[in-house]
Amino acid sequence: MSGFVSFVIAGSGAVGSHIIRELLQLKNTGKIDNVTILTRSVSSPVESMLNTSAHLCAQNSRNLDEYKNAGADITVVDYGSAESLKDAITGADVVISTLNHHPAALQVQHLLAEQARAAGVKLFVPSEFGGATDRENPEGVFAIKESVHHKLKELDLPYALFFTGPHSDYVFVPYVPRLVLVCRASRVLTRGIRLLGLDLNSGNVTIGLDGNAVNSFTTQRDIGRFVAYVLTNLPRSKLEWRIFRIEAERKVRNFGHM
Ligand SMILES: NC(=O)c1ccc[n+]([C@@H]2O[C@H](COP(=O)([O-])OP(=O)(O)OC[C@H]3O[C@@H](n4cnc5c(N)ncnc54)[C@H](OP(=O)(O)O)[C@@H]3O)[C@@H](O)[C@H]2O)c1
């Protein structure tokens, strides 16, 4: 047993929602004491619903009510403010970041990690949950994710990294205008999407590579279950500075962009 009983989760979106639901179940059985969710806002501005696209797996802030009713504490934070973050994190054993893959969101993890260290947090789980980022010369989002590992080493705040490969319940699901999602008309696809070689507009699939490359796939629900399980059941020595490479399935990924 890790002995960790107090968890802070930054972000409650596609991946975060699954981890939160698992942790709340553990809270309701008495295995852990606290689940605190950090958010920038508890409201969903109508403007952003109208103007942006959203993934069908996206969760909106209305889910915060569900988590609150199930026992979570919801804390509004300013990710640019050290004080706001430290106040929100103080008392936590573990901070789990599930902030999204946009550079601005991933970057705030540096300050989040600093404040976690200052607040006495014991373990930091950065927003990984994808392809391995401990590779040589990572680029783009991978480089930002890797920079968080360096930050945590610098701070001497142990991390646990979860590499999952593509999420099979995410990568084959298209983006839709946010309004469609909000109205729960999730089967209405009003815009053509091209994702991993699938072109929903034309119905064509682009085949590439040589058909032999294998890839790990994991569902987001399995990620939530795995993360919550190991963070509460493994001893700390098996969590600190560890990388968990998980996969539900290993499949040939013989599609790609040519
Ligand atoms: N391998 C794959 O197939 C795959 C698929 C999906 C995700 N992922 C990875 O999983 C991780 C989580 O992604 P996700 O899809 O779960 O994220 P998401 O649902 O898009 O967003 C998670 C949360 O990030 C917060 N956020 C968004 N922009 C922010 C900003 N600029 N500053 C601070 N917070 C911000 C939002 O919380 P609030 O609005 O409540 O503040 C949002 O609920 C990422 O590292 C991503 O790369 C991998």
Q: Which atom of ligand 1 is nearest to the CA of 59?
A: 19
pLDDT at 86: 98
User: CA dist 156 to 120, 237, 247, Å?
Assistant: 11, 15, 28
Q: Where are the alpha helices (DSSP H) in 156-251?
A: 178-182, 220-233
Question: Given the CA of residue 12, which atom of ligand 1 is nearest to it?
Answer: 43
pLDDT tens, N- to C-terminus, the chain (258 residues) = 889 999 999 999 999 999 999 999 999 999 999 999 999 998 765 444 444 555 555 555 558 999 999 999 999 999 999 999 999 999 999 999 999 999 999 999 999 999 999 999 999 999 999 999 998 888 899 999 999 999 999 999 999 999 999 898 887 766 555 555 554 444 344 344 445 566 667 777 665 566 677 788 899 999 999 999 999 999 999 999 999 999 988 877 655 443
Ligand 1 centroid to residue 238 C-alpha, Å: 26
CATH of domain 6-167+216-248: 3.40.50.720
Q: Which amino acid is at 256?
A: G
Identify the pLDDT of residue 178: 52
pTM (2 decimals)? 0.88
Terminal CA-CA length for the chain? 48
| Residues flanking ligand 1, CB < 6 Å | 11-16, 39-40, 58, 61, 79, 98-102, 104-105, 108, 127, 129-130, 166-167, 170-171
Instruction: Give me the sign of the Cα torsion angle 184, 187, 191, 195.
Output: positive
Q: Where are the domains of the chain?
A: 6-167+216-248
Mutate to test the pocket of ligand 1, among 99, 181, 221 (most ligand atoms within 8 A of CB): 99
User: Which tokens hold the place of 7?
Assistant: 């968890």
Q: What is the pLDDT of residue 187?
A: 39
Take atom 2 of ligand 1 and give the residue whose Cα is closest.
166
